[in-house]
């Protein structure tokens, strides 16, 4: 099996496919994007990331379970095909949705998985604890009924964590604040949420990166990680971006540097690939710039960072 980088996309209804990275030609910020998938009317691309053919994909669901897949087991498809239902490739519960993916080459001793939930909890477990794939999947985190797992990051225990919310708050703390716990454990408080707010993203950041925040109406900005003051976990955080009628709520945060490219996907299946350097670096308490022009009724649903090695 040829060793190469693939774009893997997963749709809202659970269709997965891979295609070569070169299929997407780079575009300038503010353009319309190209069609990424002929999705069903009610379907759209929800996740998109870059992975190597020989990596494992660790797939985490909103219910806190983990499943395994080799990238080459994901069917290769054209830009216009919807792909295959993930349920055909792994045994996933019918009421479960996949919310996070970690491509890993090897289960190294010094690596950990940091998990964040919609209600603001965070948990850290050693990657090694998940190195024995099982057909039916296993528990990765224990959740309350009203909570769900929204993101998982692979870390080397020296990183800083930023948790961001839909209503534009963000908190930054060192991952050392979160002690390792076993596979079957609950999380600890990562951020204190205001009523009606929820966590939309979590990144493991390096201080030389910027935090890219993207809102549902296609606006966004980059802000230096340093601007988010380092605090203990469990606080209310600081303002990350001004939300409101123009911007809509925050849908995505990613840690990016100037050399990165960013993919942004909308509900209708449009995709745009822009250089991160084309998105202004401005302060926290601002509204941001237009990153993507949306058609009437369309909204941004996902973004991903792409680094050419």
Q: What is the CATH number of the domain that holds 296?
A: 2.120.10.90
- Determine the pLDDT at residue 271: 79
Q: Would you say residue 257 lies in a domain?
A: yes
Structure tokens at 278: 């084309």
Per-residue pLDDT at 44 exceeds 80: no
- Determine the pLDDT at residue 97: 85
Spatial separation of the C-alpha atoms in residues 201 and 151, rounded to whole Å: 7
Q: Would you say residue 47 lies in a domain?
A: no
Q: Would you say residue 9 lies in a domain?
A: no
Spatial separation of the C-alpha atoms in residues 290 and 260, rounded to whole Å: 18
The total of structural domains in the chain comes to 1
* Beta pairing partners, 270: 35
Structure tokens at 269: 């299946």
Neighbours of 233 (CB within 10 A): 21
Nearest to 61 by CA among 166, 145, 144, 150: 150
Nearby residues of 296 by Cβ (< 8 Å), 6 or more positions away? none
Q: Would you say residue 120 lies in a domain?
A: yes
Q: Would you say residue 59 lies in a domain?
A: no
Please give the angle made by the CA atoms of 157, 141 and 54, to the nearest 5 degrees.
65
Structure tokens at 90: 């792994």
- Determine the pLDDT at residue 181: 94
**Tens digits of residue pLDDT in 2-17:** 888 888 888 777 889 9
Structure tokens at 209: 């990166």
Q: Would you say residue 236 lies in a domain?
A: yes
Judge contact between 113 and 139, C-beta under 8 A: no
Structure tokens at 65: 């379970």
Q: Would you say residue 93 lies in a domain?
A: no
Per-residue pLDDT at 29 exceeds 60: no
pTM of the model: 0.84
For tokens 């985190």, the residue is 141
- Run of H or E residues at 18: strand 15-20
- Determine the pLDDT at residue 148: 96
Containing structural domain, residue 261? 25-40+106-306
Q: Would you say residue 195 lies in a domain?
A: yes
Judge contact between 240 and 169, C-beta under 8 A: yes
């Amino acid at each position: 099996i040829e060793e190469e980088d693939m774009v893997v996309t997963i749709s809202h209804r659970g269709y997965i496919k891979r295609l070569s990275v070169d299929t997407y030609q780079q575009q300038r910020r503010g353009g319309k994007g190209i069609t990424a998938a002929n999705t069903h009317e009610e379907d759209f691309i929800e996740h998109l990331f870059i992975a190597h053919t020989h990596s494992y994909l660790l797939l985490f669901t909103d219910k806190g379970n983990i499943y395994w897949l080799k990238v080459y087991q994901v069917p290769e498809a054209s830009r216009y095909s919807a792909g295959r239902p993930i349920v055909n490739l792994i045994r996933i519960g019918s009421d479960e949705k996949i919310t996070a993916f970690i491509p890993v080459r090897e289960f190294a001793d010094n690596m950990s998985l940091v998990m964040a939930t919609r209600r603001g909890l965070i948990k850290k477990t050693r990657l090694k604890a998940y190195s024995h794939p099982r057909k039916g999947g296993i528990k990765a985190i224990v959740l309350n009924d009203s909570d769900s797992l929204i993101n998982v990051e692979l870390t080397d225990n020296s990183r800083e964590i930023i948790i961001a919310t839909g209503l534009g708050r963000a908190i930054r703390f060192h991952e050392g604040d979160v002690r390792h716990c076993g596979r079957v454990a609950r999380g600890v408080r990562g951020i204190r949420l205001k009523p009606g707010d929820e966590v939309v993203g979590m990144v493991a950041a390096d201080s030389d990166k910027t935090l890219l925040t993207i809102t549902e109406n296609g606006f966004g900005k980059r802000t230096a990680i340093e601007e988010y003051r380092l605090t203990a976990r469990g606080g209310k955080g600081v303002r990350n971006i001004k939300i409101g009628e123009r911007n809509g709520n925050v849908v995505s945060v990613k840690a990016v540097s100037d050399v990165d490219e960013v993919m942004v996907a909308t509900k209708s299946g449009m995709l745009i690939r822009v250089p991160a350097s084309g998105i202004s670096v401005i302060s926290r308490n601002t509204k941001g710039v237009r990153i993507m022009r949306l058609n009437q009724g369309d909204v941004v649903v996902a973004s991903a960072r792409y680094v050419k090695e």
